[in-house]
Structure 1
Amino acid sequence: MLHEWRNVVAGPCRKLWERGPLGVSLAVLATVAVIGLHEFQQTASGAGVVRVLSEVRADQPVWLSLLRTPVSVFVPAADLPAWGGLPRLFLAFALAELAFGRVRTLVVAYAVTLAGTLGARVMIALGPDRLGLPAEAAHTVDTGASAAIVGLFAYTAVALRAPLLFLAAVVSTVAGSIAEPNLAGREHLVAVTVAMILAVVLHGRRGATATPPASAAHDTPPCQYPLTESDGVDQEVGHDGSRRGRPTGRRGDRSDPDR
């Protein structure tokens, strides 16, 4: 509990105090983008523009879906309230941004969203008889930041080892996706799975290489000091690191027959 509090609450709050509002600039931009696109979509001319830029469906060519996916992340889904999901979106992006930086947050958000979009195509191809989706799901408009949000929460919880965050922000979404196996629900499951794999691969490898093995200190050879000669006395180093003098062969030997 204390470990999770430090990683999820104390650490991000300290970084926010140090960086100021710029520390959550990506979260602010994402929230503003959702609000702006939602309001623009309500206008007569804006609806067509938003549809051309962001509408993703499984019956489209793959290249078109790939082209529209970055914009579709910030377009609210038509069947969900835009304002109700804004706090959750801001928290997911802000926590990930403070913990991992802007670039990593954007990469994870896009990766899980794209995985959900492509995974939906695979499930539609499988069909409902093979735990897939019915063919009519291909005509469903697939937009919204829900996959990115649950993916970021899953990534953050696994990377920071925060089971309570995972329980509060991810398990409820997964349970709802299992209870209602529609297109969005299946994409959420794919997003959570991909986010967890990314967190284990990236942060597990970093944790394994960042800490040197415990035996490294014992394998390090002791420091060896060079022997020096001063005033007829040779210096030698003992096993405990101390120096002691011994008389040299010529100056310290009084039994020299030539004397």
Structure 2
Amino acid sequence: MHRRSFEHDGVVFSFLDAGGDGKPLLALHGHWMGASDFTEVADDLSPEWRVIALDQRGFGETDHGAAHNMAAYLGDVVALLKNLSINEPVPALGHSFGGIVAYHLAAAHPDRVSAMIIEDIGVNIQDDSTPYVTNWSGTFRLREELEERLGPRLSPYLQKSIRRVKDGWTLNFDPAEFLVSERATNGNHWKVWLQSRCPALVVSGSESRVCDGTELQTMTERREGTVFTQLKAGHSIHIDNRTEFVETLRHFLNTQNL
């Protein structure tokens, strides 16, 4: 994937683009993560699909410190598609936070989204990660010190969110800014979820500590044109069980004739 950038709303955004002649597929990462978490998925889907993954505001190589609200997140995605002159609707894959943005995008901009793939995120979000992230701030002299601070459960998932700076290692997001983003996505999103009409696939991780598979299944039952599947994985299914995740994703896309 090739690293590219554009400016919108006074913010410089960074994104990864697989390029080639494949059909475009938008990928939106979860909190604490970034576009680079989809590089292996992009390789698996190539050459049929051209994965375009955005570092959302405040994360990865995109500018930090901008406003955080749903309207801004949606505007960022639309600006990305316009920057690439992609005018036809595209499938939107969203993991966690990215899944919330994806189903809001499908409701607000139905002309932009041909299908949704929602990875392990529900519609009744009441999160407070303050106890986890308050001691993640700053620069650590050794990478191992930062990994120890993240803990053995989360550190493996955040390897691509660690970056080298002059005085050591740090995260490529500000934990305090992340908490602002988390509050911006909290709430009851049932109404928005039911507004869109495009086909949707909801993927649940059987071992997820973030989402209740029962809620995700109920989302599927209440929304027409929606398919549910559960794979053996934690919250980050595309990392824990990439092979089955990609197979499931490819099957869904092919059955929709997208």
Question: TM over 0.5, yes or no?
Answer: no
TM-score normalized with structure 2 length: 0.24
Which is helix-richer, 1 or 2? 1
Mark the structure with the bigger radius of gyration. 1
Larger proportion of strand? 2
Give the TM-score of the pair, scaled to structure 1. Answer: 0.24
